[in-house]
A and B are shown apart, each in its own frame.
Chain A
């Protein structure tokens, strides 16, 4: 979201319309533009001893994903959060192969 500049000077964020007079950062979604955000989400692993060696393997071949787009008018989840979009999917990964 746009990060307003306090009284139009310096590097401090302003709060409230009476302080906001500029921008020090802008992370808004801009009109008619697509913004991409990439995440790497790792499957949980387990470690077992096999033949005296520690061997890691996947704990579950599925991963339940939940993506939520929140709008936080006051910057935190404690104050009037708005759930804009939600996505859920269970992703599966292969268990065969080298």
Chain B
């Protein structure tokens, strides 16, 4: 029995070491990324870590374009996104017996990652205190709306909108998909279209991002289907799956960026159907009509034979999801 206890303790020790090793992660220079700093303890700290306000001085146009997009308010969205975070907790996590969540106070970062994987990937670089702060703020926003307290609602909305997919998420944190091949994103580097120096106090270098103009860049979030890496898989965007398995096999050869940024002339204001520039181009509707007299032995029924032809010119299924 004593031996068994020793063996158990030894096994637990080995498991603990192994787990700690996994937390640190493998990969050369992974510890030199923005993500690898000590975890942020508050929304303000997380916002500060990925603060891209200094980009505005030189990249005003890109910033102004981006600020019109939902990337600029990826948690709040139109309000519906924030509401869905809450619904996902109430109808999902709290309803699942093995999730460990009985009420909002039990919510941890991992519980939010089903949404945050894409709506706030940098949440993985924060403590559970931040998860709690997000949940509390969403609840405060909804309470304020119910109580017609516009000031409180606006304050909560502002806090939630400070969390977003900004310059540094795409041009640094998530700029490299194949980190063992291309290296981990360096915390002093902005990844874009060229190498060189970057006139900024914190981000002093430019590097050519290997996937920055490739569809896989967007595919990181506009995904394949169920996210199986999660304990309870979610499925939201499936655009990249449709792109890979339907658009390309049908002869498509454009990238996401070509349509959503360049041809649309929307730049960093990446939009979908709510933008006329996108919706007009995405679907063709052709209607043909033929007025005829239909008849059987005893009846004549004049009718219009109407054919609607819908052609999807987009690089993914419509609707997505």
Task: Give me the interface of A with B, judged by CB distance under 8 Å.
Answer: 1-2, 4, 8, 16-22, 26, 28-43, 45, 56, 58, 63, 65, 67, 69, 71, 73, 82, 84-85, 87, 89, 91-94, 97
Alpha-carbon distance between A94 and B300 when the two chains are bound, in angstroms = 13
In the assembled complex, the CB of B258 is this many whole angstroms from the nearest CB of chain A, namely: 14
Q: Give the A-B pair count, Cβ closer than 8 A.
A: 165
Alpha-carbon distance between A71 and B317 when the two chains are bound, in angstroms = 13
B242 at the interface (CB under 8 A from A): yes
Query: Which applies to chain A's interface (DSSP): helix, strand, loop or mixed?
Result: strand
List residues of chain B with CB within 8 A of the CB of A94: 291, 293
List residues of chain B with CB within 8 A of the CB of A37: 307-308, 310
Q: Is the CB of A17 within 8 A of B317?
A: no
Task: Decide: A22 near B226, CB < 8 A? Known: A2-B317, A34-B309, A63-B291.
Answer: yes
In the assembled complex, the CB of A51 is this many whole angstroms from the nearest CB of chain B, namely: 17
Query: What residue in chain A is nearest B236 (Cβ atoms)?
Result: A17
Task: Decide: A30 near B317, CB < 8 A? Known: A43-B303, A91-B289.
Answer: yes
Q: Is the CB of A41 within 8 A of B304?
A: yes
Query: What residue in chain B is nearest A73 (Cβ atoms)?
Result: B319
22 A–B contacts from the bound complex (CB under 8 Å): A2-B238, A2-B319, A16-B88, A17-B88, A18-B91, A20-B226, A20-B234, A20-B235, A29-B283, A29-B317, A35-B312, A36-B307, A36-B310, A38-B308, A39-B306, A40-B303, A41-B304, A42-B301, A45-B302, A82-B273, A84-B273, A94-B291
B251 at the interface (CB under 8 A from A): yes
Alpha-carbon distance between A92 and B233 when the two chains are bound, in angstroms = 54
Further contacts, 13 of them, CB under 8 A, given A17-B88, A32-B247: A2-B317, A2-B321, A18-B232, A20-B226, A21-B226, A22-B235, A29-B318, A33-B311, A36-B307, A42-B302, A82-B279, A91-B291, A93-B292
B8 at the interface (CB under 8 A from A): no
For the complex of A and B, list the 7 residue pairs with the smallest distance between their C-beta atoms, beginning with the closest.
Answer: A18-B92, A31-B247, A29-B312, A20-B235, A85-B285, A32-B250, A17-B236
Partner among B92, B243, B302, B303 whose Cβ is within 8 Å of the Cβ of A31: B243
B71 at the interface (CB under 8 A from A): no
Q: Is the CB of B289 within 8 A of A92?
A: no
List residues of chain A with CB within 8 A of the CB of B273: 71, 82, 84
